[in-house]
Amino acid sequence: MILTAAQIAEVVNGTVEGDNDAQVSTVSKIEQATTASLCFLSNKKYEHHLQTTKASIVIIDDKVTKVPEHLTVIRCSHPYVAFCTILIQYFDYKDPHTGIHPTAVIESTAQIGDNCHIGAHAYIADHVVIGNNSKVYANSCIYENSTIGNNTVIRSNVSVYYQSVIGDDCLIHSGTVIGSDGFGHAPLPDGTYIKIPQIGNVNIGNKVEIGSNTSIDRANMGSTIIGDGVRMDNLVQIAHGVEIGNNTIVAGGVCIAGSAKIGANCIFAGQSGVVGHITVADRTQLGGQAGINKDIKEPGGIFTGSPHLPFKDEMKSRVLWRNLPKLEKRVRELEQQLKQDNKTD
């Protein structure tokens, strides 16, 4: 694949400065570029690489003013988005898999849409409905009465339990389990437990991506709900009855306990956690390892620490914590001084 600066500028609605006929055949980080590379610059931290990069073309915005004379650049309002657009259109992996593999098992009552792929040793159970242009890869299992929308990809070794609903244009990565039982066990007088049946389901909206080895539990009753546009990383645990609003980002290692309600457009950094039965407002941002133990009612807040505090308050607390050994030493010195003063009196 060879692209010229003029072709790229037309796709991203940008303006070429330099050679319209400059060519690229690959994409690279700006600091690792070759003369065949297309790169982008959107973070000021990396701006110094613009002076030394070997790239043929770099996508930048109007904030960048110092451009080497020999370098061809394309100016546009959002360089990272523009770069992603080129990646998707010209360089993204093109899946060659089509059709139904002869070793796949598809029950007679299942409905498979047009132009679908069902991979080797995949299992499609009774009364499953799979929409058009969707793919279920090798060794994945879609169990009874589940529904998969159009243009959705289920990677290898995924288990979708019975009555689950997955919308259109979703991507579920390998090793993920959708609809496993919620963790419900009631204690008995003799110290043992009785399992509480989990008779609800999981309902995943459209344009959702779920990373590998993630678990989303079915509700005890009703539905565990993942809204449209949610992006979920690897190794995430979503417990039974959780509701996550549209376009929320959930990074790796996050755990959300049962029946928590998470708003739209939130960002949860890695290893953050939310206790059960609380509500987190829209546009909330959680720092890494933040622990949320009570409702967050006001939208747009930024929190970190465990138990959580507003970001600025937590940063002030950490300064004090670092000084605790010095403060302790000072208190002990003052105590000794007071004892000496009392003896003198």
Residue 341 has pLDDT above 70, yes or no: yes
Residue 311 has pLDDT above 80, yes or no: no
Measured distance CA(293)–CA(308) in Å, rounded? 7
Instruction: Kindly report which listed range (38-47, 154-163, 243-252) carries the lowest average pLDDT score.
Output: 38-47
pTM for the model: 0.87
| pLDDT > 70 in the chain, percent | 100
The residues annotated as belonging to the active site are 240
Torsion of CA 333, 338, 343, 345, to 10 degrees: 140
Measured distance CA(132)–CA(127) in Å, rounded? 16
Residue 314 has pLDDT above 80, yes or no: no
Burial state string for 278-299 with b = 16 or more CB within 10 A and e = fewer than 16: bebbbbbbbbeebbbeeebeee
Report the CATH architecture of 3-91.
3-Layer(aba) Sandwich (3.40)
- Are both 3-91 and 99-313 of the same fold? no
pLDDT tier at 255, thresholds 50, 70, 90 = very high
- Give the per-residue pLDDT at 30: 94
Per-residue pLDDT tens over the stretch 221-248: 999 999 999 999 999 999 999 999 999 9
Per-residue pLDDT tens over the stretch 179-238: 999 999 999 999 999 999 999 999 999 999 999 999 999 999 999 999 999 999 999 999
Rounded to the nearest integer, the mean pLDDT of the chain is 94
- Over residues 98-121, mean pLDDT: 97
Residue 153 has pLDDT above 70, yes or no: yes
Residue 143 has pLDDT above 70, yes or no: yes
- Give the per-residue pLDDT at 306: 85
**Domain locations in the chain?**
3-91, 99-313
Question: Per this entry, what is the length of the chain?
Answer: 345
- Over residues 61-75, mean pLDDT: 93
- Over residues 105-131, mean pLDDT: 98
Q: What superfamily in CATH does domain 99-313 come from?
A: Hexapeptide repeat proteins (2.160.10.10)
Q: What is the 3-state secondary structure (H, E, C) of the chain?
A: CCEEHHHHHHHHCCEEECCCCCEECEECCHHHCCCCEEEECCCHHHHHHHHCCCCCEEEECCCCCCCCCCCEEEECCCHHHHHHHHHHHHHCCCCCCCEECCCCEECCCCEECCCCEECCCCEECCCCEECCCCEECCCCEECCCCEECCCCEECCCCEECCCCEECCCCEECCCCEEEECCCCEEECCCCCEEECCCCCEEEECCCCEECCCCEEECCCCCEEEECCCCEECCCCEECCCCEECCCCEECCCCEECCCCEECCCCEECCCCEECCCCEECCCCEECCCCEECCCECCCCCEEECCCCEEHHHHHHHHHHHHCHHHHHHHHHHHHHHHHHHHHHC
